[in-house]
Structure 1
């Protein structure tokens, strides 16, 4: 087979005419389609023969056995938590006070940069071309996170935490305005505001961050209705559930990206639908440390905007799409006899186009179409998992693997080839991250409820 090579996929010297076996368009896979990449965007997408005629100066790069599909969008991540990813395993649900706050509080500037870049590398390896960073608690300038993702070559929606219950509201709001301006014109960094949970900000800040984000075309990321404890705290403090409280304060609207939304009543689903707010559905987080699974199929039926998020669990987009369908089937489909649970196409679409829309980037990425950013994957479908294809979207959801990803492009540039960066030293970063993680964990006052799996096994003997 005539294998593609990295040298044939570089855009440094001009445009590319890519001719795979199929292109995953917004209307589904199309055989014998091609795409012209010009700079950071797609110039044209259509039948390969037609594009070859219309661009006679370009030599088609044949990609046998491959499909060209949109890069996945991670609608909810915590990039600076990568040093402690396994600390959540086996722990009770609400772990941010015991694990994530002390861990991130122990990061210095180098550790923040390396942790974020390590997370970005894992995301790229897993097929994500965009990640939404929900805001670090590390006591550093968020430019370090921006630099890490920029250097890694991934698109990032960069959250700035605007909690002010224990701080100065005026300083918080001034910082929010500066953040939106600071990254307003970057190619890969898109500013966002963030509030950890509704009770972490005053009503004024919830209202004003919503207004600032709406005016800037950005989003406000807030963890909402994720755990029973959070819902009960809101009921005790405000007499309202978290989403109801955001509605009362004027913070519920198209600019809101509600992270998790696992514990929602029918009324709250109506509030989401009527307000135009978006949700990040995080199925792996529900399985690993959650109290419930968000009713994503119901949200889809009601017209609620949502994408898929990892919550920093694992940067593997195909496994995320599989988990999205699998969780719906176990939590809702089995009880109702719904054997489809949205079908394969639903979860591929929400993992790309839906996520981009939820992040306010629907006009920029998440689709293979002329004028969109050239954020895409070349996926080898000649492997045993997908070669005998009867329904490619379903098969990619249930049988696709990240080791089938030959190339990852972001903004028209080849960023990864066969799982590793093409223009920086990925293995060296991993080695440095391992060293720094050991140092951070020695000083981080993390408290775990459960022992390690090896200690737990030994205790049973």
Structure 2
């Protein structure tokens, strides 16, 4: 598509778009068109019909292109973008050694730049929605909202509601000596803490945050707890209730690492997910991040309570202990989306990783050569992800009345031109280089990988300077040397 087409797409008025195909929930359909107006899909249907019923609109033909829903990143940490490459080769629970120190070194400007940089990467990878699990930088969370808004991406914005001070992994340690007595001891500690200054302030801020972005077209507030140990039972229950009443979600990292599961068993006599169930925190409002270590009983708990999961396959490969049983989740109707965890912002590669991880972890051993048949991962990267993060009625599908968050994908590339099965091909052979345009809320945000209304390259140069300064002053501890240093050590041996 040429510059003239881009100018037409950048129009502020209603658009009648006629691509070669539109990706609907049932698959790619030829000969369809969409009408976009006021940020939403006003109509979706056969091109001839929409052309006839909207004679006032000049059709914008998009030869060789597929119009598809934008990807939904169900788990991200936007203010961690400065340290993304520091995770390579590191063992699990790097949040202690890398992420907490890094975010603690961010001031307001660097937090804004880090979040906007992450948003730009996400847009370049076809994500029209990112779900931020809450920053631990000592800044107003509105800084992150401003960065997302300025970048032009939809954001489910978490506010961290931790109320256990100090090291959360050693909190309420008095119950560790007697696992059978742990629930009573922990409940006693939680009850005592419920009226504390910290807890009261946390819950007041949570209520304010949920009310803060009413009517904002791009920012959707949510609550977050870093890990179950970081909040008292009273706060876990109350945040669940507040989110449910507001139609929002609570994000909690759950059953991600062996160390976390074992800490919970020592403290409560229950695994993390079981503990959340016992105190009444499971339900449709909960987004359980990672959930890689699940027993059959815990799968049943997820299914029975309607709790959603963020399946983060790349994060599992890079620094996890296991791969979430996402194929089993899909079979049992458990709600889940796909998340990057800030690893890399490419929606196609994320969908590929989702399928690939299931094939390696489960499919090879059972002779399952399909592992979701492609469409499963494409669906959970879009509509399923939107549902998991509380936006199923807002985005994730090309459908009348939903937000016009969509991509124009070039089908004439060598990877996609010889098409036999579009969903499988998008999962296995798609990549961000094939994305011509990204729309969020009906507005053209990216054209051929570059922002349409701000200078992307200049911003990236500025971000690189800010990143170097932040990483240098952060007390980061890495276990693994750089790849160059590791090679030198291996050669020396």
Length-normalised TM-score, structure 2: 0.92
| Offset of residue 5 of structure 1 | 2.7
Aligned to 2:123: 124
Q: 1:368 aligned to 398, 404, 427, which one? A: 398
Aligned to 1:276: 306
Q: CA RMSD in A?
A: 0.9
Q: How do 1:56-71 residues align onto structure 2 when only pairs under 5 Å count?
A: 56-71=55-70
SS in 1 for 2:374: helix
Q: 2:450 and 2:242 mapped to 1: Cα distance?
A: 38
Aligned to 1:182: 212
Mapped contact 1:377–1:407 kept (Cα < 8 A): yes
Is residue 2:36 matched to residue 1:6?
no
Mapped contact 1:4–1:62 kept (Cα < 8 A): no
Aligned to 1:111: 110
Q: 1:357 and 1:399 mapped to 2: Cα distance?
A: 25
Q: 2:18 and 2:3 mapped to 1: Cα distance?
A: 13
Mapped contact 2:276–2:282 kept (Cα < 8 A): yes
SS in 2 for 1:382: coil
Aligned to 1:41: 40
Q: 1:2 and 1:88 mapped to 2: Cα distance?
A: 40
Mapped contact 1:356–1:365 kept (Cα < 8 A): yes
Aligned to 2:164: 165
Q: How do 1:5-404 residues align onto structure 2 when only pairs under 5 Å count?
A: 5-12=5-12, 14-166=13-165, 168-404=198-434
SS in 2 for 1:343: coil
| Offset of residue 4 of structure 1 | 6.4
Q: How do 1:401-440 residues align onto structure 2 when only pairs under 5 Å count?
A: 401-440=431-470
SS in 1 for 2:425: helix
SS in 2 for 1:5: helix
| Offset of residue 35 of structure 1 | 0.4
Mapped contact 1:325–1:342 kept (Cα < 8 A): yes
Equivalent residues, number = 460
| Offset of residue 190 of structure 1 | 0.1
Q: 2:282 and 2:214 mapped to 1: Cα distance?
A: 23
Gaps of 5+ in 1: none
Q: 2:362 and 2:429 mapped to 1: Cα distance?
A: 22
| Offset of residue 78 of structure 1 | 0.4
SS in 2 for 1:168: helix
Q: 1:3 and 1:21 mapped to 2: Cα distance?
A: 19
**Would you identify which runs of 4 or more consecutive aligned residues in structure 1 move more than 6 Å?**
1-4
Larger radius of gyration between Structure 1 and Structure 2: 2
Spell out, residue by residue over 1:58-109, the C-alpha distance to the aligned partner (whole angstroms, 9 max, x if none): 1110100000000000000000000000111000111111000000000011
Mapped contact 1:164–1:202 kept (Cα < 8 A): yes
Q: 1:64 and 1:187 mapped to 2: Cα distance?
A: 30
Q: 1:147 and 1:353 mapped to 2: Cα distance?
A: 25
Spell out, residue by residue over 1:182-218, the C-alpha distance to the aligned partner (whole angstroms, 9 max, x if none): 0132100000000000010000000000000000000
Aligned to 1:447: 477
| Offset of residue 27 of structure 1 | 1.4
Q: 1:438 and 1:387 mapped to 2: Cα distance?
A: 42
Gaps of 5+ in 2: 166-196
Spell out, residue by residue over 1:386-412, the C-alpha distance to the aligned partner (whole angstroms, 9 max, x if none): 000000100000000101100000000
Length-normalised TM-score, structure 1: 0.99
Mapped contact 1:11–1:39 kept (Cα < 8 A): no
Q: 1:131 and 1:44 mapped to 2: Cα distance?
A: 25
Spell out, residue by residue over 1:252-307, the C-alpha distance to the aligned partner (whole angstroms, 9 max, x if none): 01000000000000000000000000000000001100000000010011110000
